[in-house]
Amino acid sequence: MDHDGQLTFDDDPDALRMKSAINLLRLGQFSQATAAFGAIFEHDPEYPDIDTAIKASRFWENRTDAIASGSAGLEKGKFLKEQWNIFETFIGSDERVDNLPAINAIRTYVFTEAIHCYTRAWESTIAPDISLVHDIGECYFNIRDYAKAVETFEYAWELKRDSSRILSRLADTCEAMAGDSRELRKRALLLFREAFLHNPREIEVERLRSHLIRHLAAEVREAGFTGEEIPCWIPIHAAFSHSFSVKRELEEHEVHGLQDQATRLEADLGKSGTNARILLPVLLNRYIWLLDHYTLQVNDAVKAELVRKRFLERDPQTYARVYSRQDPKKTASPPA
């Protein structure tokens, strides 16, 4: 009790039990944690978020033997990651639940263990395993060690420069750690723009925490797209709102690469049985990059006009939403 006679945290036995139970979760002692949460519930069934804590603890208590039986290594690391993904679906991954102390404590245990497992696996590899490096970076991200996550994802990026999966996770981490840093926010936008160019279908959109990407993904879903279509249309919707506003200069070989890719995609879209709802946005994104290059970087009006004509012939409504000042809602319509 404080000097004014008010009840303090240390005077509340349930608060002390809650703190102790959460520490047990952090240590992976799930059976003891479940019992401690149960005692709190018996004393006060209305204690804040006690039902969620019990539900979460029981989920992992049921997996205690499986976790304990595996030796540290790749398979155990994968198991922990897979179970966490199942757990997120089971418990709900909205922002409020995601930030509960009990959930944070479990997350810390699971991904600290996974880092240990993946590191042991890394030590036994002969050649660099990009997927393994990605998973280590994801673990650091999940325990909020963003500096280590950036370092790990950057190493993976050095191994594979055109990996959209790696770039999107690096961008997501830069945004998460940005705070008041304008430079980190700009870098996140630049990397997201890059990630959604190369191979958007390999981006795990549902695993990203970026508020911007989640907003764009929701927009795309509302427009009627699903599954692998969603990451393909995200950069187009970003162009509608100029969300990916940080851009870099292209090297000549990159320009030629975009031109060649656009030509191949145009040919593919002309074939019967083609999934236009996936290929079309991939093509349109290349038009957008080329137009940015010809208008902002080299000021080549002739080449810009050629790309503009191809864009207008292919999808005049999307062109209008990207480049005109019309109300986007008046021109909105998903392609067939």
Domain chopping of the chain, boundaries: 7-124, 219-242+250-336
| CA 194 to chain centroid | 14
List, in order, residues 6 or more apart from 141 with CB less than 8 Å away.
Answer: 149, 169, 172, 173, 176
Asked whether 247 and 296 are in contact (CB, 8 A), the reply is yes
Per-residue model confidence (pLDDT) at position 334? 43
What's the rounded Cα separation, in Å, for the pair 23 and 147?
A: 24
Per-residue pLDDT at 96: 87
Three-state DSSP class for residue 177: helix
pLDDT by residue, tens only, the chain of 336 residues: 444 444 454 567 889 999 999 999 999 999 999 999 999 999 999 999 999 999 999 999 999 999 999 888 999 999 999 999 999 999 987 788 889 999 999 999 999 999 999 999 999 888 889 999 999 999 999 999 999 999 999 999 999 999 999 999 999 999 999 999 999 999 999 999 999 999 999 999 999 999 999 999 999 999 999 999 999 999 999 999 999 999 999 999 999 999 999 999 999 998 877 799 999 999 999 999 999 999 999 999 999 999 999 999 999 999 999 998 544 344 333 443
pTM here is 0.88
Tell me the per-residue pLDDT of 147-160, one tens digit each, with 9 for 90 and over: 999 999 999 999 99
CB atoms within 10 A of CB 21: 27
DSSP codes, 80-111: HHHHHHHHHHHH---HHHHT-HHHHHHHHHHH
